[in-house]
Structure 1
C-alpha cells in the first residue's frame, strides 16, 4: 500500500483549483487566451505529469504546447552549447538550471517539483519486504538497472552506499538491467521481489495496479536527482506567454498533475521544506 496516499489526498483536498474538472481560467492563463504556440522541453521523467497538464492548459488558454521530453543532461548540453533552442525548460538537477542561468541561456527559474524513492514490490508484497535491509536478506531477488540513463542507476547506487548496503544488495541481483522501466516489469511479473525506484514509476498506469511500495527514509536519498525546476529561456519569442505558462504550471492547478504522477509539488508543505533544505532558489 502506498503510504503517501493519505498525505496526497490531503494536499489535493487543499487545492482550491484542482486538476480534475477545473473550469476556471486563471488570470495568468487568461493573458494567453488568444492562443499561440509555446515550445517546452523537459526531463523525460516529467512526461507523465506534463502531458495531461498541457492538455488542460491548452483547453483553458488556447495555447498550443509543442513538447519534447528527453534525457535532461543531453537537452541541457545542447542548450548550453547553443545547438538547441526552446522557450521553456523544465530540467532535473538544480545545478543544470544554475549553469543555464549563469550562461545567460535561462532568464529565470522556479522550483517545480521533487522526486522521492521507494521500494517497489509485487502487489501483496509476497516476500515481506519491510525496509532496505530486507533487500540484503538471503533468497530475496532484487531487480536493478545499474547502467540505466542517469540518474536511474547512479541514484540507486548512491542510495545503497548511503545505507551501507551496496555489496550485500548487489549479491541479490541476479541480472543487471539497462532500463529502469523494463526492470520494473520483472517486479510486476513476480520474477523479482523488489526494486528501488522513484515513486513516480509506481504511479505509471502500466505499473500502478501491479505494485505496492515500501517507504525508504529520506536521509538515504541522493540530493542531486531530487530537484526539478522550470525556467524561462532567453530564446522565448513571447516572454509574457512563456511566463503565463510557467505561472500556471507552478499554481495549484498545474501542481496537482505532478502530485498525481507521484512527484512532490513545489507548493506543497513538503515541497516548501525541500526548497529550503536544498536551496532551490533563483539567484541572479
Structure 2
C-alpha cells in the first residue's frame, strides 16, 4: 500500500513538472556598455532596476572610444550609453544600434577643474596657455571629454599654445579628477558632473567656460540590435531615461536635456 501511494505521488509530481507553465524567458544577465564618467548614476540605476525586475545587470565602464571599439570588434551589449551622442550616431551608421530606441537623457557640460584654492589662478581657457601652467587633458582618441577639449581649444585657437603645457593625456574623466584632487596638475578640462563625486570633495574647484566657447554635449541611451533579451533591454532603456531615472542623474550633477 505504501509503495502504491509513493508511486502515485511521484506520478503526480512528474505530471505537474511536465504540464506546469514555462517561466518567462529572460537572458541570464543584461549587459550595459557605459562611459566611465557615468559610473555614479549608472550604479544607482543598475541597482534599482535589478531590485525592481529581479534581473542581473553587468556594466562595463570604459572611455567612450573603448566601448565603441568593443562594438566594432563584435562584442554586444543590451544597452549602450557613451559620454556623447556622436558615438551613438556612429554606432547607428554601422548598424549596431536600433535608431528608434535612442533617448536623450542629460547634458554633459565641460568645465575647467582646478585644485582647491586655484593656486595657478586659472580664470579661463586662455590661462591654460600661460607658460608654466600644468594642464591635464583626456586622450581625444579615447574619451568624449578629450575629444571635446581638443575641439574647444582648436576653435579658440589655443591648442598649439596649450599643447606644451599638457603633463598627461588621461584615458578617462575619472582619472582627470584624481590628477587635480592630488594637485598633480593646475587645471583640467572635465565634465561638470564629475565635480560632485566624493573623491574631489574639498579638493577641487570649478571654473566655468564662457558659453560662446563651450561645447555642451548630449548623453543618449539606446538598445543594441543584438540585445539578448530585447523586451527587458527596452524596459531598462526606458527606465534610464524615465522621470525616476532623471532624478538620479540630477542627484549626480547632470542637467536633463529638457531643461
TM-score by length of 1: 0.68
In structure 2, do the counterparts of structure 1 residues 265 and 70 end up closer, same or farther at CA, with 3 Å as the change threshold? same
The match for 2:111 among 101, 106, 118 is 118
Question: Deviations for 1:188-238, whole angstroms, at most 9, x for unmatched residues?
Answer: 233433222122332232123311101112333346xx2322112222333
Distance 1:103 1:189, change over 3 A: closer
Q: 1:52 aligns with which of 44, 50, 69?
A: 44
Determine the structure 2 residue equivalent to 1:76: 68
Note the aligned Cα RMSD (angstroms).
3.1
Distance 2:138 2:124 in 1: 20
Partners of 1:75 and 1:84 within 8 A in 2 = no
**Does residue 189 of structure 1 match 2:176?**
no
Whole-angstrom distance in 2 between the partners of 1:228 and 1:98 = 11
1:131-210 aligned within 5 A: 131-137=124-130, 139-145=132-138, 149-173=142-166, 175-179=167-171, 181-210=174-203
**1:36·1:62 contact (CA, 8 Å) conserved in 2?**
no
Match 1:211 to one of 196, 199, 204 = 204
Q: Deviations over 1:48-75 (max 9, x none)?
A: 2211111122223323222222233343
Aligned equivalents of 2:46, 2:131: Cα separation in 1:
46
Q: Which runs of 5+ in 1 are unaligned?
A: 1-31, 270-284
- For residue 139 of structure 1, report the CA deviation from its aligned partner: 5.0
Please state if 1:246 is matched with 2:237.
yes
Name the CA shift for 1:79/1:252 in 2 (closer, same or farther; >3 Å).
same
Distance 1:43 1:182 in 2: 13
CA contact (8 A) 2:41 2:249 kept: yes
Q: What SS is found at the alignment partner of 2:32?
A: strand
Which structure 2 residues correspond to residues 245-284 of structure 1 after superposition, within 5 A? 245-266=236-257, 268-269=258-259
Residue 102 (structure 2) aligns with: 109
Counterpart of 2:214 in structure 1 is 221
Change in Cα spacing, 1:103 to 1:192, as seen in structure 2 (3 Å) is: closer
Among 64, 70, 73, the residue aligned to 2:56 = 64
Q: Which has the larger radius of gyration?
A: 2
Q: Distance in 2 between matches of 1:86 and 1:76?
A: 11
Work out which of the residue numbers 82, 87, 94 in structure 2 matches 1:96.
Answer: 87
1:280 counterpart residue number: none
Q: Distance in 2 between matches of 1:150 and 1:232?
A: 21
Question: What is the rounded CA distance, in whole Å, between the counterparts of 1:117 and 1:52 in structure 2?
Answer: 23
Count how many residue pairs are aligned between Structure 1 and Structure 2: 232
- Contact 1:148/1:177 (8 A) holds in 2: no
